[in-house]
Amino acid sequence: MDRFDALQLFVRIVEQGSFTRAAMSLDMPRATATLAIKELEARLGTRLLERTTRSVRPTLDGEAFYLRCQYLLSELDEAEASLRQSLDDPAGTLRVDVHGTHGSRIVMPRIGEFHARYPRITLKLSAGDRLVDPVREGVDCVIRAGEPRDSSLVARRLAVMPEVICASPDYLARMGQPATPADLGSHVAVGFFASDSDAGYPFELVVDGEVKTWRLAQWLTVNDAENYVSAARSGAGLIQLPRYHVEDELVRGELVEVLATWDSPGVPVSAMYPQHRQLAPRVRVFIDWVAAVYRERFGELP
């Protein structure tokens, strides 16, 4: 087995956690896969994989090598794609990472449309609140809410999502409903922090043409969007988040909007990708498609 095939095999084993499944996906005997990895480890002079009766996991050296292999294979894929593909019929594997609720509520309900339009693109979509490093982890495109902070990535704004401040009926019965933004000072909030930072997010409203912020008292802080909503439903405090995330709860009366007279500045959401991938046809068509999905959901950019 040549070095390129060995790298592909190693990456597949790490991703699938199994020699057998990796070998089957590459249409080769398991014994061939086992021998190829032994030869790769011998050539590198280190163990890459920890093998148990139930699973296969990379060692520390294996994890570092896996990330490098992802990058190298992605670069080779890019080089081939730039020569053989056009925007009319792009092909190849597209790796996209999306925050959980954006994936489940905005992108995934329409992903069949993307496949119907570009059937030769194979999507590998990860979702969660962890901030991935696209360059280091070989991800082609990430979709993130908030102002982009990584200047090494190209960012394309997709939408500005309207926000809502809300709480459970039980909480409002106990604490009273704020009549003006100034009343927020006597209320309790559910705290939220990003997975890469302990810093919380203040409440924001536009008052007299200016964005004002309030930091409320809080006894519970979470770093997961679903738990953020669940905490509010249970009466733990006020929350502020994009309206689309709690539309059903508002309709059912599980949450009640407050301070609806005052606008929020909204939450920007962007597609970001490494600069060296901006010309890859499969990346370009995906970003154009997902931009249209967000535009239809949230309207034109201001």
Q: Do domains 85-161+268-298 and 163-265 have the same CATH topology?
A: yes
Q: What pLDDT does residue 101 have? A: 84
Q: What pLDDT does residue 198 have? A: 54
Q: What pLDDT does residue 3 have? A: 85
Q: Which CATH number fits domain 163-265: 3.40.50.300, 3.40.50.720, 3.40.190.10, 3.10.300.10?
A: 3.40.190.10
Which CATH architecture describes the domain 85-161+268-298?
3-Layer(aba) Sandwich (3.40)
H helices present in 130-168, as ranges: 134-137
Read off the pLDDT of residues 173-219 as tens digits, 9 standing for 90 and up: 999 999 999 999 999 999 988 765 555 789 999 998 899 999 999 99
Question: DSSP code of 264?
Answer: P
| CA end-to-end distance (rounded Å), the chain | 55
Output the average pLDDT for the chain.
88
| Domain range summary for the chain, segments of one domain joined by + | 3-65, 85-161+268-298, 163-265
Q: What pLDDT does residue 127 have? A: 81
| pLDDT value at 222 more than 80 | yes
Task: Name, of 14-18, 98-102, 253-257, 279-283, the range with top average pLDDT.
Answer: 253-257
User: Which has more confidence, 270 or 70?
Assistant: 270
CB 150 within 8 A of CB 273: no
| pLDDT value at 247 more than 90 | yes
Read off the pLDDT of residues 49-104 as tens digits, 9 standing for 90 and up: 998 777 788 999 999 999 888 888 877 776 666 555 566 788 888 999 998 788 88
User: Which has more confidence, 270 or 147?
Assistant: 270
Instruction: Round to whole Å and give the CA distance between 75 and 84.
Output: 14
Nearest alpha-carbon partner for 1 in 177, 29, 219, 87: 29
State which fold the 3-65 domain adopts.
Arc Repressor Mutant, subunit A (1.10.10)
Q: Name the pLDDT band for 24 (thresholds 50, 70, 90).
A: confident
Q: What pLDDT does residue 301 have? A: 84
Mean pLDDT lowest among 3-12, 48-57, 159-168, 264-273: 48-57
Q: What pLDDT does residue 235 have? A: 96
